[in-house]
Amino acid sequence: MTDDRALFDSTVRRRSVIAGALAGVAAGVGAVSTAVSAAADPAPHVQGAPSAPVDAGPVRTPRVDGLHLQFGADATSQVVVSWHTLAPVAFPRVLVGDQPHGYHRTVPAATRSYVDAQSGRRVFAHHAAVNGLRPSTDYLYVAVHDGAQAELGSVRTAPRGRSGGFTFTSFGDQGTPTLGKRYVPPTGVTIADPPYVNDNLGSPAAGDTTAGVERVQPLFHLFSGDLCYANLSQDRVRTWWDFWENNSRSARHRPWMPSPGNHENELGNGPIGYAAYQTYFELPEAGGQRAQDRGLWYSFTVGALRVIALANDDVCYQDGGNSYVRGYSRGRQKAWLEAELKAARAGRDVDWVVVCMHQVAVSTANQFNGADLGIRQEWLPLFDAYGVDLVVCGHEHHYERSHPVRGHEDDETLTPLPRATGTQVVDTTQGTVHMVIGGGGTSAPSNTLFFQPPACRVIVGVGEPDPVTHKRPPVYVQEDAGLRPGGRPVVGGAQRRPRLRVRGLRGRPGRARRRHDDDGDLLRRHRGRRGAVGLRDLHAHASAAGLRCPGRGEGRRRSPAPTGPPECGWLPHGTATLPVGPSPQEPSLTLAAGGGHGPSVAASGQWAIRAHRTHRGRPT
């Protein structure tokens, strides 16, 4: 076996030569022809150096496919490097180092596998858990197994506590930008040579959104389910391969942290259908899990932000996967969630709680999936009790955002109640903001299906299984999503400016006092259980949505008034109005979040989110 230090150095050196050659071409300087040739070859096997003699080399050995990252429970020190193959490999491992100091150490990878019930093929996934890293540090790594060409990636660890800022992005419902089946013409129509078409609800925009994430370059990406719709495709293994081929260009440099959607449920793959998802990802361990639901729910901490990923098929009434699995955890996920939320709010190190999940509690799209009563029954009371700040979800293929909601109407659908309807300040001390971001690239948009006036279809149960499809039809109840008597809007409401200033902390309402700062922004100062609360800046980012979480020492910045398309409370045009960009002096972007038409990029000003930072307890 080639010495790992030499392999690491040669792989990094080769990529540096390629990067330099490409930069020279772009500048019109020219480049070494051999380096340009290697860089131009789209096949990943040209990267790196062999880790075994030529006679056992890459022609006979599976490639390092689908290279991607996940954070461990502590994102300051734990990262998992993963890839997959269609055959067993020898000595899968990751070589870890950095740019100034070179090679540090080798971390062996553990291998998991599953057999796809549709094709009978076995997929092997290799996961190297790299621990003991330093916070806010850039690392290089090389993934390799014996006989394969090495693949290079990079990762930045999270800041510790409130020591530094970061950005994350989020969307769901992507699919792949590839072709997977022959077109079947309508009855009576004959085509001699039918073209290939996509078979997983994907579109070319599924490639654009990945490029959009890389333009933002977040610390991590939250993927709110329905990753590639493999359960709809003719070849599920190929669809997963295409998904990773598209997204590895981003996911090898920043963790893509998922929550499972209904289309991750694949008939015959594991006891409850999630074996493929559970094999490709190695996610933080969570209490209460058994082998069948390992990795389906988890949490991790980045700075002062706790992220909680949930598996909503466990509580949803809708029959949306290949098999109906409602209630599979028998309450274990709910018990874990309450313990997680309680611990987050009892500690002194967490300021923000963000939940990533697939199906939605609110939606104003007609003739689409709709909201699910199961989420309102099981999750929302816990979000209320422990003050979840933000929920990012998919399932509905458009963008919309709720007012802060807490509590519910005494009606059949448990309609969420808004606790703050102002549009200049989004105050998460008053309730949880739900952000629907299901436009990650799917070819089946719902951004033209909004109710006018606003309404919401809620799934309150299911009927008997259809004798042909075996699917349980949803039972819907429609609720008003506009103004209630007395002018209380349930969701939406006019949004005069695409501006989001998030109040992040729990203060006692009776002790709040208002003031205006010198640029006219309305600020509040609270005194909570543990003393005075300081004011901090946050910056909004989108691809389709995200948050810039500030670190210590980042002061308030004055920002220009934002520009962009007309807005209403739920933004039915599908455009997320949260801008991106590292500083007010640099241009920023507004990325379209809905419709499956890819990121519509437009120049925009950047503006600050005013937010508290403190140690929060359970809200009163």
pLDDT at 424: 80
- Output the CA–CA distances (angstroms, integers) from residue 141 to 12, 34, 103, 155, 187, in the order listed: 9, 24, 9, 8, 53
**Burial of 385 per CB tally in 10 Å (0-12, 13-18, 19+):** middle
Alpha-carbon separation of residue 129 from 70, 153, 283 (angstroms): 9, 15, 10
Question: Are the C-beta atoms of 248 and 67 separated by less than 8 Å?
Answer: yes
The token duo for 183 is 């077109």
Looking at residue 58, what is its pLDDT? 64
Tell me the pLDDT tens digit for each residue of 262-275: 999 999 999 999 99
Query: Of 194-208, 274-288, 348-362, 520-534, where does mean pLDDT reach its minimum?
Result: 520-534
- In the predicted structure, residue 26 carries a pLDDT above the cut 70: no
3-class secondary-structure state, position 166: strand
pLDDT digits (tens, 9 = 90+) for 425-451: 888 999 999 999 999 999 999 999 999
DSSP string over 383-396: HHHHT--EEEE-SS
Beta strands in 33-186 (DSSP E): 65-71, 79-85, 93-98, 102-108, 110-115, 122-130, 138-144, 151-156, 166-171, 181-182
The pLDDT value given to residue 481:
87
Highest mean pLDDT among 29-33, 357-361, 568-572: 357-361
Homologous superfamily of 162-480 in CATH? Metallo-dependent phosphatases (3.60.21.10)
How many residues are there in the chain?
A: 620
Assigned token pair, 366: 């007609």
β-bridge pairing 371-372 and 455-462: parallel
Report d(CA 58, CA 243) in Å as an integer.
22
Q: Could you identify the residue written with the tokens 């809200």?
A: 619
Query: What is the helix (H) or strand (E) element at residue 458, kind and residue range?
Result: strand 455-462
Q: Given a cut of 60, is residue 607 above it in pLDDT?
A: no
State the DSSP H helix or E strand holding residue 525, giving kind and residue range, or none if neither. Answer: strand 522-525
Q: What is the pLDDT of residues 525-543, one digit of tens each?
A: 222 222 222 222 222 223 3
What is the arithmetic mean of pLDDT over 74-95? 97
Say which residue the tokens 């029959």 belong to. Answer: 319
| Contact present, 543 and 598 (Cβ < 8 Å) | no
- What tens digit of pLDDT does each residue of 445-482 get? 999 999 999 999 999 999 999 999 999 999 999 999 86
- pLDDT class for 347, splitting at 50, 70, 90? confident
Give the three-class secondary structure for 354: strand
Please name the helix (run of DSSP H) or strand (run of DSSP E) that holds residue 308, with its range, or none: strand 305-309
Tokens 């074996």 locate to: 275
pLDDT at 601: 23
Mean pLDDT of the 20-48 span:
38
Average pLDDT value for the chain: 77
Q: Which residue has the higher pLDDT, 71 or 588?
A: 71
| Spatial contact of 303 and 353, defined as CB atoms under 8 Å apart | no
The pLDDT assigned to 24 comes to 52
Which of 2-6, 125-129, 166-170, 239-243 shows the lowest mean pLDDT across its residues? 2-6
Element (H, E) at 242: helix 236-251
State the pLDDT confidence band at 234, using cuts at 50, 70 and 90: very high
Q: DSSP assignment, residue 487?
A: T
Mean pLDDT of 54-83: 89
**386-411 residue pLDDT tens:** 999 999 999 999 999 999 999 999 99
Report DSSP letters for 398-454, one per residue: SEEEPPPEEEE-SSTT--EEES---SS-EETTS-BEEEEE--SS-SS--TT-B-SS-
* pLDDT at residue 556 greater than cutoff 70: no
Instruction: Tell me the average pLDDT across 502-525.
Output: 28
Q: Which of 169, 212, 221, 137 is nearest to 548 (CA)?
A: 169
pLDDT recorded at residue 53:
38
Residue 146: pLDDT above 50? yes
Residue 29 pLDDT > 70: no
The mean-pLDDT minimum among 13-22, 71-80, 90-99, 224-233 falls in 13-22
pLDDT recorded at residue 567: 28
pTM for this one? Answer: 0.78
Is pLDDT at 19 greater than 60 in this prediction?
no
pLDDT one-digit tens code per residue, 311-338 = 999 999 999 999 999 999 999 999 999 9
